Copies of this chain bind each other. A is one copy, B any other.
Amino acid sequence: MLRLSKLTDYAIVVLARLGHAQCGGRVAAVPELALASGLAEPTVAKVLKILAQSGLVEGLRGARGGYKLARKLEDIPLSEVIQAFEGPIALTACVDGGHGGCESEGCCPVRGRWDPVNRAIRDALAGVTVAQLANTPPARQCAAPALTF
């Protein structure tokens, strides 16, 4: 299934909700986002912590704090979100510049040939933005927030 981790999946949803909430420049706190996305609070908190560490969202501490997007959703490529949660985008660990991780490194006939495949996948994921995944055309959403939520 080539599956993304659940946290990555949640991250897309949370980012989308954050985009919703942020139209007026407000910041959104974890409980609010958890409620809106239907996820548990500790899970949403974990997702946002990772997103903050990778610079995709910005955390504001203290009372009346919360999170806000560091960039607009249409400026966040999917590849960056995936990299934040899954590390470098590559199908196998044995390439990617790594050495010593594979016990049959010397005799492996496939060694070093995955790079074009990995690059193709990276490009595919870099060409999609979170805004495209989330069904949130920014103009309409901000014009009529009461309707979309």
Inter-subunit contact B78/A117 (CB<8 Å): yes
User: Which residues of B have CB within 8 Å of A124?
Assistant: 117, 120-121, 124
A86 to B1, CA, bound (A): 5
Q: Which residue of B lies closest to A91 (CB)?
A: B4
User: Which residues of B have CB within 8 Å of A88?
Assistant: 1
Q: Which residue of B lies closest to A78 (CB)?
A: B117
Do A2 and B1 contact each other (CB < 8 Å), given the known contacts A104-B37, A135-B109?
A: no
A9 in the interface (beta carbon within 8 A) = yes
Min CB gap A112→B, angstroms: 8
Inter-subunit contact B82/A2 (CB<8 Å): yes
Tell which of B91, B94, B109, B128 touches A117, judged by Cβ atoms closer than 8 Å: B128
A125 to B93, CA, bound (A): 17
Inter-subunit contact A110/B92 (CB<8 Å): no
A68 to B121, CA, bound (A): 31
Inter-subunit contact A9/B92 (CB<8 Å): yes
4 smallest CB-CB distances across A and B, nearest first, come from A120-B124, A38-B104, A16-B109, A113-B133
7 A-B contact pairs sorted by A residue (CB < 8 Å): A1-B86, A2-B4, A2-B89, A13-B108, A38-B103, A111-B135, A120-B128
